Amino acid sequence: MKPHPIRLIWPRSANTWQDTKRIMNIEAMPYPYALPETPPALILIDMQRDFVEQGGFGSALGNDVSLLLKIVPTVKQLLETARELGMLVIHTREAHKPDMSDCPVSKRNRGKCDIRIGDEGPMGRLLIDGEVGNQIIDSLKPVEGEYELSKPGKGAFYATALDDILAEHNITHILFGGVTTEVCVQTTMREANDRGFECLLVEDATESYFPEFKQATLEMITAQGGIVGWAASSDEVIPALKTQYGK
């Protein structure tokens, strides 16, 4: 039998190689975070007046809100980058319906506060949809095409359409910012991790009323090989996003 001639077969043409985009890694803890081909979503948690301004729910709980305001310029930079690159942007607000039918009694009764969820404060009723205090701060206001999600829980997946929105946009990777690190941000990140999303927390775009809790959260989410996800600074995240998804 005649032997088959040897033919060299190249897996891709030179043009295809040229067209293939290099996949960027973000320098992160506990190891580099590989960006996907489809841009990740940016989820900004609860950057509302209730938490970052005096007279809201945060200060009613006895917290110093000035710490939280410090991250606003970084969150804005991250948001502007996401807009420039056409990323899916989702803003959340911790909010209850005016009739409070979505607020468990246990949540309303928690803490030693003079005013509670639903009570009248200097910026309207605390943590109630539509009140002045419940609005996202002016410098981070959502624009057309972005989602603004009202959430009754600490986690943004609980009793919201978040899972469906992410599926509709074929999202596999999520970048997180917002407040507070160890409460609503961490809860949402854990919910997302359990649903199979690759999550990264932008560490200078999140803050807590308790710096030691922020530090502990960064350590616990990235421990054990990234048991919940990754953490990286905006100095690493923003340039990598621009390189990967910029024109």
Residue 90 in contact with ligand TIU, rule: CB under 6 A: no
Residues 43-72 interacting with ligand TIU (rule: CB under 6 A): 46, 51, 61
The catalytic position among 46, 103, 154, 204 is: 46
Minimum distance from CB of 108 to ligand TIU (Å)?
12
Question: Looking at beta carbons only, is 94 or 198 nearer to ligand TIU?
Answer: 94
Minimum distance from CB of 61 to ligand TIU (Å)?
6
| Cis, peptide link before residue 180, omega less than 30° from 0 | yes
Nearest to 189 by CA among 150, 159, 231: 231
DSSP-assigned states of every residue in 55-101: TSHHHHTT--THHHHTTHHHHHHHHHHHHHTT--EEEEEE-B-TT-T
Minimum distance from CB of 167 to ligand TIU (Å)?
24
- CA angle, 97 then 59 then 158, to 5°: 35
Nearest to 99 by CA among 124, 121, 117, 123: 117
Question: Looking at beta carbons only, is 27 or 129 nearer to ligand TIU?
Answer: 129
What letter would DSSP give residue 48? Answer: B
The catalytic position among 151, 154, 199, 214 is: 151
Residue from 180, 206, 217, 244 that binds ligand TIU (CB under 6 A)?
Answer: 180
151 is catalytic: yes
Contact characters 100-129, ligand TIU, x per CB under 6 A: ------------------------------
Q: Which residues contact 55 (CB under 8 A, 6 or more apart)?
A: 121, 122, 123, 133
Q: H or E segment at 147?
A: strand 147-151
Residues 184-203 interacting with ligand TIU (rule: CB under 6 A): 184
Q: Which residues contact 200 (CB under 8 A, 6 or more apart)?
A: 26, 28, 33, 40, 173, 174, 175, 176, 229, 230, 231, 232, 237
Residue 183 in contact with ligand TIU, rule: CB under 6 A: yes
Applying CB under 6 A, which part among 36-44, 99-107, 163-171, 178-186 lies near ligand TIU? Answer: 178-186
Q: H or E segment at 120?
A: strand 120-121
Applying CB under 6 A, which part among 16-24, 166-174, 177-185, 237-245 lies near ligand TIU? Answer: 177-185
Minimum distance from CB of 208 to ligand TIU (Å)?
7
Phi, psi for residue 112 in degrees, rounded to 5: -105, 80
Beta bridge partners of 45: 178
Residue 94 in contact with ligand TIU, rule: CB under 6 A: yes
The catalytic position among 50, 103, 154, 184 is: 184
> Would you please indicate which residues are annotated as catalytic (active-site) residues?
46, 151, 184
Binding site for ligand TIU (CB under 6 A): 46, 51, 61, 94, 154, 179-180, 183-184, 209
